[in-house]
A and B are shown apart, each in its own frame.
Chain A
Amino acid sequence: MEIVQIVSIGLVATILIVLLKEDKPEIGIQISIAIGAIIFLLMLGKIISVVDVLKTLAQKANIDMIYMSSVLKIIGIAYVAEFGAQICRDAGSSSTASKIEFAAKIMILLLSLPILMAVLDLIIKILP
């Protein structure tokens, strides 16, 4: 029952943030960053096993490892960008959050361009 543990940590952190938000909002924001990092670090082992299963499935299906690693990279970029953007939005600076999301979108587009070009090349080869 690890979920009970995580929910309790989250509730305690929320109470502490609400307690500190009146006088010192900057410390409240830092607590919310810390709780985000702590929950991710607690879930790390499970995410690693899920990713390992996905990799073995891809190997069994004879999918090229380049595509699999691009998908993983895109997931990682999306996660980090979402983490930063939510913290910025919590702190009341939504313009910075939108800029972080914009940068993440550009980076994901850049990573997916080779796959798009491969698909286009394939289509051109198939067409007479």
Chain B
Amino acid sequence: MDVDILFKIAGIGIVISILSKVLDEAGRKEQAQMTTLVGVVIVLMMVIQLISQLFSNVKTMFQLY
């Protein structure tokens, strides 16, 4: 279950980069920028869950409250 998220993030990154290149070629700079932004936000949502899991585990293990 853990490693799946890595491939998910990489897939989103590849799709976003191809989409933004295609939109750039078509002369729609703003939409390319928007696509990049949306991709970063989607990936951030996934990474933030992982980070919060990591921090809560560290907090309980080392008794940092």
Q: Which residues of A contact B (CB under 8 A)?
A: 9, 12-13, 16, 19-20, 23-24, 26-28, 30-31, 33-38, 40-42, 44, 47-48, 51, 69, 72-73, 75-77, 79-80
Count residues of chain B with CB under 8 A from any CB of chain A.
Answer: 33
Least CB distance, B32 to chain A, in whole angstroms = 11
> Per a CB cutoff under 8 Å, which of A9, A73, A80 touches B63?
A73
Interface of B is mostly: helix
Least CB distance, A128 to chain B, in whole angstroms = 39
Q: Is the CB of B6 within 8 A of A80?
A: no
CA distance A90 to B13 in the complex (A): 18
Q: Name the A residues within 8 Å of B43 (CB-CB).
A: 27, 30
Q: Is the CB of B3 within 8 A of A73?
A: no
B22 interface residue per 8 A CB criterion: no
CA distance A28 to B50 in the complex (A): 16
CA distance A6 to B17 in the complex (A): 28
Q: Is the CB of A31 within 8 A of B58?
A: no
CA distance A30 to B53 in the complex (A): 15
Q: Is the CB of B17 within 8 A of A37?
A: no
Q: Is the CB of B54 within 8 A of A41?
A: yes
B33 interface residue per 8 A CB criterion: no
B23 interface residue per 8 A CB criterion: no
Q: A24-B13, A27-B39, A37-B47 are in contact. List 14 more A-B contacts (CB 8 A).
A: A9-B3, A9-B6, A12-B6, A13-B6, A16-B6, A19-B10, A20-B10, A24-B39, A27-B9, A27-B12, A30-B9, A40-B58, A41-B53, A73-B63
Q: Name the A residues within 8 Å of B20 (CB-CB).
A: 23
Q: Name the A residues within 8 Å of B38 (CB-CB).
A: none
> Per a CB cutoff under 8 Å, which of A12, A27, A79 touches B58?
A79
Q: Is the CB of B59 within 8 A of A76?
A: yes
**Quick one: which of A31, A47, A75 has the most chain B CB within 10 A?**
A31
